[in-house]
Amino acid sequence: MITKPVKAQEAIHINKHKVPLWAVIVLFLVALGGGAAGGYALSYQQAQQSVLKTGVPKALAPVISAYETVTNNYYKQVSTTKLTDGAIKGMLSSLDDPYSVYLQNNDKTNLDDTISASFGGIGATIQQDHNSLSIASILPGTPAKKAGMKVGDVLLKVNGKDVSKKTVTQAVAKIRGKIGTTVAVTVKRGSKQATFSMKRKKITVDTVIGKLAPANKQVGVITISTFSEPTVKQFKATVKKLRKEGAKSFILDLRQNPGGMMTAALSISSMFSKNGQTVMQIEDRNGAKEVYKAGKKLDGGFKVTEKTAVLIDGNSASASEITAAALHQNSQIPLVGEKSFGKGTVQNVGEMSSNKELKLTVAKWLTPDGTWINHKGLTPDVKVAYPAAAKITLINATQLKPGDKGSDVKSLQQMLKALKIGSATVNGQYDDATQAAVKSFQEANELDASGTADQDTLAALAQKLSAQLTKDDPMVAAAVKEVTK
């Protein structure tokens, strides 16, 4: 999940082949006026007659009239596709629901990639190191690995176009593409530049990662980054692997997990529940409820009975909250960390064409005991806050030097303090003490010891701080205590 505040992802029902009737009706507007090249628009009464003849709901008569008026009378040629897309977007916007959206092109592709946890790419993970983009990890056997890319390479261009100032999301969108197509990625490594030409291949994302806790090798830490199509299979494999490695208890890390597929959340929730226990309820707009109960149908007979704790934070949302609530209420598994996001609605996804789909909120979901957590979230049993170092604001400047002042300098000083480098005061002024601390860090890390925080220095500081935060994680430490007491 992402470190900045983000909109939560949905607990999604997948319905990729059935398009809602009313969505088809709106698209049908094209057919009603497609042949007209000029003349007068349909009157409201004529539009009503057209509606009655075609079986379209009477309420759409004004929409058809407006469509005809625009297509026949606007002083410029108008794209009918643009008009219908706009009508659909307007309809959804009127719901005042951020989770009901009309997805087109890249937005549709991104959702599909998230659901499937696979895409056409090169197998390299990109991260933002303050003012630059760099390669954070490379999967074995992927185009990036075979081409010779390395962790730490600074991303400059994709297919000859500068991406150095793009966001991670924008850069990733440029690199991903149709499987089998070629992409050229230019990076900076030290003082040199290199361009790697690679054929995109299918990349499957590991949505589940497991390792033994550094402080206790009998505790397995399982991190789920999102709930996607392969998540359940990956989760089972991870539990089995950790058991073989000696894990006697588990920590399920759902921090920074924005949600995903409801079916995956239900399956994993069932693994920690006794057969017959309610793992979640869905309530439609008429108050009718559908109850999901633990059992072989959901979990395939695979159960996790070891002592467990769940980590949550403000970006644990939707499917993450479904899982956390079920484990907490059914098996008295403690929640550790910070209050969760609080998203209690369910969305359906309907494919409208090869590059368009509609995501619509269709119900609200309730915890096993019937609680609706929307805008409320789940409160942890053991409250543990992130350390101050985890909340340091990103540095936007490409370079900081003696004499500079402001929030970026303050962030630099906070990083130095967190890493126990030098004795600079956090005052937002690049003074002598700050320069000395920066120079000390540069010397210790074989960087140009100028005392000026250049791009390489800022990136190295960010990496060191990230590693320290991962190693000294107070939430994991608290969870280890819970599962070993």
Q: Which residues are catalytic?
A: 318, 343, 347
Determine contact, residues 326/310, Cβ cutoff 8 Å. Answer: no
316: CB partners within 8 A, 6+ apart: 1, 254, 255, 256, 257, 324, 337, 340, 341, 378
Q: Give burial (CB, 10 Å; 0-12/13-18/19+) of 247.
A: buried
| Distance, CA of 95 to CA of 262 (rounded, Å) | 23
3-state secondary structure of 12: strand
Question: Which are the contacts of 302, defined by CB distance < 8 A and separation ≥ 6?
Answer: 236, 239, 271
Token digits of residue 168? 């991670």
CB 91 within 8 A of CB 60: no
The three-state secondary structure class of 307 is: strand
**Torsion-angle region of 366 (φ positive above 0: left; ψ -120 to 50: alpha; else: beta):** beta
CB 20 within 8 A of CB 329: no
Task: Tell me which residue of 114, 113, 85, 117 sits closest to 101, measured CA to CA.
Answer: 85
272 and 330 Cβ atoms separated by less than 8 Å = yes
Neighbours of 64 (CB within 10 A): 25
Residue 321 three-state SS? helix
Strands, sheet with 307-312, edge to edge from the N-terminal-most edge strand: 208-213, 216-224, 249-253, 307-312, 335-337, 382-383
How many Cβ atoms sit within 10 Å of the Cβ of residue 435?
20
For the chain, the farthest-separated pair of C-alpha atoms sits apart, in whole angstroms, at 81
- HSE toward the beta carbon, residue 277, CA cutoff 13 A: 22
Residue with tokens 């759902």, as numbered in its chain: 254
Q: How far is CA 358 from CA 20, 168, 244, in A?
A: 9, 25, 44
d(CA 374, CA 364): 9
